[in-house]
Amino acid sequence: MKTRREFLHAGLCAGAGAVLSSGTRPASAEPESGAGSQRPNIVFILADDMGFSDIGCYGSEIDTPNLDALARGGLQFSDFHNSPRCCPSRAALMTGLYSHQAGMGLMTADYGRYPYPAYAGDLSEKCVTIAEALKAGGYTTLMTGKWHLTPLTVGKHNWPLQRGFERYYGIINGAASYFDPASLTSDNTPIEVTKADEGYYLTNAIGDHSVQFIEDAARKDKPFFLYAAFTAGHWPLMAPEETISKYKGKYAGGWDALRASRHAKQLSLGLVRQEWSITPRDPRVPGWELASFHEWEQRRMEVYAAQIDLLDQNVGKIVSKLRQLGILDNTLICFMSDNGGNFEEMRRIPSGHQRPAFMPYKTKDGMPVIPGNDPSIMPGPATTYASYGIPWGNTSNTPFRLYKHYANEGGISTPFIAHWPRGLKQHGISHAIGHEIDVMPTCLDVAGVAYPKLSKAGTPPPPLEGKSLVPVFQGGALPERSLFWEHEGNIAARNGKWKLVSRFPDAWELYDMEHDRTEMHDLADQYPDRVRKMAAEYAAWAKHVGAQPWPMPQTPDGAIRLGAMPSPPYLLHDRI
C-alpha cells in the first residue's frame, strides 16, 4: 500500500478531482425553529482545552450542575467535533469555514512565517464572522473571554470590536494568569488588574461581564448574541484555594481508576458504546501505584477540577440572569470546548531567562512567580504557573486516543450542548455527527439572517462550509458529508462511519467509527480501495482550502519533529 505522503502527492497533482460539498445553506428569511417573528437571543459558551469527559453529563466526577442541567433540558451531542488547537478552532467557529480558509491553519505565533494565506496567523479579512453577520442582521453583538485570532504585535485591526462585536472584555492573547491576566482588554482599551482588585479571578470576571452585557442588551428592543469564551481549563493551573479544597483527596485513587470510572459513567449515559474499548493508558505514564509524587499529581488534578467547577459556576450566573430577565426560554445556549484535553507539560524556566509575554515574573503583590511543573511546588496560587500534563490530559479525553494538536478523537472530540426551550423539539442525546463549522450557519438560521455578500475586505466571502444544526434540533438529521482536519501535519477525513487519520509522520490508518470510535483497530490493510478514495478526497479538500503538506519549506527544523511546533522554552509538548 502507498504511504500517506505518496497518496497526498498523487492527489494534489491530480487536483480537486473529487467533488467537494461546500455545505452552503442560505439562511432562511425567518428562523426555521418556529420562533416566528420573535428572534431568539444566542449565547455561545466556549471552554478552553477541556476534554470530552470533563463535565458531569459527559462522564466526569467534577461538580458541573449548571451544564448538566442544560444538557438535561436540551440536546446533548455525542459525536461533535472541533479543530485540534486554539487558534484554528476559534477561526472555524467564528466563520463557519475551515480554519485554513480563515488564515489560521496554524497559530497567531506563526504570523509572517509562511507565504501561504492558509497559514497567515491573522484572521482573514476575506471571511465574515458570526458577529459581523448578526450585527448586520439587527443583533446586538457581545463578547467576553479569549480572542486569540490576531497577534498582539500587528495592531487592533482584527480585535473583536473590529470584527463585528460591539462590546468586549477579555484577553486578546491565548493564555494568561487567572489572577493577573496579560493582554486584558475592555472594548479596545488594554487594562490591568491592580492591587485594589482584591479577589480577582479571570473566570469570574468573564462571567460577571457576561451577565452585565446581557443585562444591558436586554434593555434594547432587539435580540443579542453573546460569545463567552472562557479560558478555563487552559493552563496555568490556578484557582482560589476554597474551590481547590473541595476536591482534596478526590483523586487519591489515581488516573487509572478515574479513567475507568468516567468510562463506566459514559456507558451508563449512552454516550459511548460497550464495543468501543477504552484506549490504553499513555505508554509514557506509569500505573498509579508506580507513579512518583502522588500528592503533587493529585494536586494538579484538584486544581484543574476547580477550574472546571468555576467555569460551571459562571455558566450558572449567565443562565440565572437569562431566567431573571424572563428571556431564557427564547435564548439558544450552546456550549462546547475548543479542542481536546491538553498533554503539554510546563518546563521550569531558570531565573533570569526571558519568559513569554503572558507569563508574569511577579504577582500584583510583588511575589515571584515560579513557572514549571515542579513536584516540589504545589500549583494553584498566583505564584505558580503549571499544567496538569500527560496523565491527566489522558484522563480528560476518556475514552479516546491522543490529545490537543492531533486529529485522533482525543484531539477533536468535544461535548456539545444546545439548550433552547422554545426552539428545540428533540431532547436527550443526539448521535448526529457535527463540527464547529456548523455553529455559524446554525446561528444565521435561527436568527433569520442572510450570509453577507461582502467581507470586511470588500470581496465575496467563501461559501459556508458548515451545515445548520436546526434539522437536528427539530428531530431530523444532517445530510451526509465529509469532514476534514489538518494541523501540523496531523490529518484526518471523516465520511459517515469511516475515518481516515494520520499522526505525522505515520501512514494512514482507517477506522470504522460505528464499531470502533476509540480507534483501536486499524482497517487500512483490509480496505485499501477505501483508503485510496478517502485519501484522494482529503487531497482535493487540501487543495480547496490551501492546506499544505507538512513540513512546509519555511518550517524550522525544530518544528518538524513529530508534527509539533518548536518546543517553546516553557513547554515540553514535542515529546509525543
- Residues that are catalytic: 86, 148
Give the residue from 155, 202, 215 showing the smallest Cα distance to 176: 202
- State how far the Cα of 41 lies from the Cα of 308, in Å rounded to an integer: 25
- State how far the Cα of 30 lies from the Cα of 554, in Å rounded to an integer: 47
CB atoms within 10 A of CB 264: 12
Q: In sequence order, which residues have a C-beta less than 8 Å from that of residue 178 and are 6 or more positions away?
A: 201, 202, 203, 231, 236, 238, 239, 307, 382
Q: In sequence order, which residues have a C-beta less than 8 Å from that of residue 196 and are 6 or more positions away?
A: none
Greatest Cα pair distance in the chain: 66
- 8 A C-beta contact, residue 41 and residue 331: yes
Instruction: Give, in degrees to the nearest 5, the angle at Cα 260 between 256 and 266.
Output: 145
DSSP secondary structure, 128-191, as one string: --HHHHHHHTT-EEEEEEE--SS-GGG-STTSGGGGT-SEEEEESSS---SSS-TTEEETTEE-
At 204, give phi and psi (nearest 5°): -65, -40
CB atoms within 10 A of CB 393: 26
Instruction: Give, in degrees to the nearest 5, the angle at Cα 245 between 244 and 250.
Output: 90
Beta bridge partners of 430: 77
- State how far the Cα of 249 lies from the Cα of 169, in Å rounded to an integer: 35
- 8 A C-beta contact, residue 145 and residue 46: yes
- State how far the Cα of 266 lies from the Cα of 60, in Å rounded to an integer: 9
- 8 A C-beta contact, residue 536 and residue 17: yes
Instruction: Write the single-letter amino acid at 376.
Output: S
Instruction: Give, in degrees to the nearest 5, the angle at Cα 111 between 570 and 113.
Output: 95
Give the residue from 410, 224, 396, 214 showing the smallest Cα distance to 307: 396
Give the residue from 567, 492, 472 showing the smallest Cα distance to 537: 492
- 8 A C-beta contact, residue 574 and residue 403: no
- State how far the Cα of 371 lies from the Cα of 118, in Å rounded to an integer: 33
Instruction: Write the single-letter amino acid at 277.
Output: S
**Three cell numbers, residue 8:** 497526498
Tell me which H or E stretch contains 7: helix 4-14
